Amino acid sequence: MAKSQQTYNKKEKEKAKLKKREEKQKKRDARKAEKSPGIEFAYVDHNGNLTDTPPDPSLKVEVDPEEIVLGVPPQEEGDKEVFDPVRKGKVSFYDLSKGFGFIVDNENNEKYFTHVSGIIDEIAENDNVSFELEKGQRGMNAVKVQKV
């Protein structure tokens, strides 16, 4: 009796698998029939958008290839902005034994870290100094620090 039960289960499992395959195939066929073919041929209009209709030739604009500037355009003499990288500030904290400190910028009251490797003159707390900024691991650092 156990043999016939086992055989019956196998037949049921095979029927279920077959039914599942057929349902899957029907869904696949339905999806294929449902999909739209999309735009078979695409055009680019005068604004750079994709369309399925050809662009209007009257809207075409002629561009002189010599006028196209690759890279940064050259600046006129009047356009140049004078930027002084040297800033002025005051030493708010400096630990000579550890070799680091902080400088407060006079312009924007920002605190900048400075290390002994970026210091030119010997400095102490409350000294007025000039310095430049450099990107460090944790933000901007004061380098080329000199007494004023």
Give the pLDDT band (50/70/90) at residue 55. confident
- Whether the CB-CB separation of 142 and 114 falls below 8 Å is answered with yes
pLDDT band for 126, please (50, 70, 90 cuts).
very high
Pairing mode of beta strands 111-115, 100-105: antiparallel
Q: What is the mean pLDDT of the chain?
A: 86
- Contact 51/43 with Cβ under 8 angstroms? yes
For range 46-74, the mean pLDDT: 83
- Distance separating alpha carbons of residues 105 and 133, to the nearest angstrom: 10
pTM equals: 0.46
| In the chain, domain spans | 1-56, 87-147
Q: What percent of the chain has pLDDT over 70?
A: 88
Mean pLDDT of 11-40: 86
The CATH number corresponding to 87-147 among 3.40.50.720, 2.40.30.170, 2.102.10.10, 2.40.50.140 equals: 2.40.50.140
Phi and psi of 118, rounded to 5°?
-105, 10
Of 92 and 42, more confident: 92
More reliable by pLDDT, 113 or 4? 113
Q: What is the pLDDT of residues 83-121, one digit of tens each?
A: 678 999 999 999 999 999 999 999 899 999 999 999 999
